[in-house]
Amino acid sequence: MLDNLIMNAVEAMPDGGEIVIKTQEVRDGVTLKVSDTGVGIPEERLDSIFRPFTSTKPQGIGLGLAYCKRAVEAHEGTITVESRLGEGSTFTIWIPNDSKE
C-alpha cells in the first residue's frame, strides 16, 4: 500500500520534487502521511479517486488507490486526500490502535 502511494507521488512529479513521509502516534491510533510537491489532483476528481477504475494518469488502470482504501478499511482505518493543483497532494492514513491484525 505504501509503495503505491509513493509511486503515485513520483509519477505526479515528472520534473522532480519532494516526497515527505510522516508517521505520528495519536491518542487513538497511528497516522501515516505521504505528501508530494507534484502537479496535484483536480478538485472535481477528488471525490472519485478511491473508486476502482478511476485514474488521473493516461497509463493507469485505476486500481491502486482503490486497493489502498480497501486495505486501510480492512483494519478499520481511514484514508483521505488533500490536494491543490500545482502544489501537490497529501494522503493521510489513520489506523486505530485496536485494529484487526
Q: Residue 7's closest CA among 47, 76, 60?
A: 60
Task: Report the candidate in 34, 43, 26 with the shortest Cα–Cα distance to residue 79.
Answer: 34
- The confidence score (pLDDT) of residue 54 equals 73
Residues 11-69: pLDDT tens digits? 999 999 999 999 999 989 999 999 999 999 999 999 989 988 877 666 777 788 999 99
Closest CA to 55 of 65, 43, 47, 70: 65
- What CA–CA distance (Å, rounded) separates 87 from 6? 16
This prediction has a pTM of 0.88
Q: What is the pLDDT of residues 64-87, one digit of tens each?
A: 899 999 999 999 999 999 999 999
Kindly state the cell numbers that stand for 67: 486497493
Domains of the chain: 2-96 (3.30.565.10)
Residue with cell 477528488: 46
d(Cα 40, Cα 95) in Å, to the nearest integer? 25
Cα 36 to Cα 16: distance, rounded to the nearest angstrom: 10
